[in-house]
Structure 1
Amino acid sequence: MGPVTIVVRYFAAARAAAGTEEEKVQLPDGATVADAVAELRRRHAERLPRILDAVSYLLDGVAVRDLSRPLTDGAELDVLPPFAGG
C-alpha cells in the first residue's frame, strides 16, 4: 500500500499557531496519530509544538486516547486546544 493522506483541522489557539484552518498531511502507510503529531510539530516548529502539548484530538469525530491508533487514507484529525468553560 502507498502513503495515506489525512486532513488536519485546527481549532481556536491551534488554528492561530498553525496559521491555517486545515491542511492535508501525507504520511507513510501504517502511520499513527503520533506520527501525524510529529509531522505537525515539524511543519509548524515555531509556534505549534507548545500548543500540541495541551491539546486533545478527534479522529473522524471520535476522541483519541491512544496516539498509537493507526490512520487511514482520507481520515480527519481535529486538533482541539483546551477550552475554558463555565
Structure 2
Amino acid sequence: MSDKVTVQVRYFAGARAAAGIQEELIALPAGATVADAASTISAQHGEKLAGVLTACSFLLDGVAVRSPGTRLSDGVQLDVLPPFAGG
C-alpha cells in the first residue's frame, strides 16, 4: 500500500483564473481528505485562490462532495467549482 495519493485537480471559471492554471497533479499523504487538498492548493497558489476556495464546491470523480472530510483515493479527479452566476 502506498503512503501517497495522486489527485488530478481541475480548476473552473474564477478558480482557474485565481490558480493561473487549468489543471495539475498534486501528491498528498495516504488518508488525505478534500480539505487537505484544498489546503495544499491554497498554499501553492496563494491568497487569491485561497479567497476563491472559501466559496467553492468540489466534485470528486464527477460526484458532489458533501463533506470536506471525504477521503481521497489515488488517481481521483477533484474539480474545483466556484459559484456560477447565470439565468
Structure 1 residues 16-51: Cα deviation after superposition (integer angstroms, max 9, x where no partner): 100000000000000000100010110011310110
Unmatched segments (≥5 aa) in structure 1: none
Q: Percent identity?
A: 59
> Could you say which structure has the higher helix fraction?
2
Q: TM-score, normalised by structure 2?
A: 0.95
Which residue of the partner structure matches residue 27 of structure 1?
A: 28
- 1:44 maps to 2:69: no
* C-alpha RMSD of matched pairs (Å): 0.7
Which residue of the partner structure matches residue 70 of structure 1?
A: 71
Runs of 4+ in structure 1 over 6 Å off: none
- Number of matched pairs: 86
Q: One-letter code of the match for 2:48?
A: R
Q: Counterpart of 1:51 in 2: which secondary structure?
A: helix
Structure 1 residues 38-79: Cα deviation after superposition (integer angstroms, max 9, x where no partner): 101100113101100111100000000101000000000000
Q: One-letter code of the match for 2:42?
A: R
Q: Counterpart of 1:7 in 2: which secondary structure?
A: strand
| Counterparts of 1:46 and 1:30, CA distance in 2 | 26
Q: TM-score, normalised by structure 1?
A: 0.96
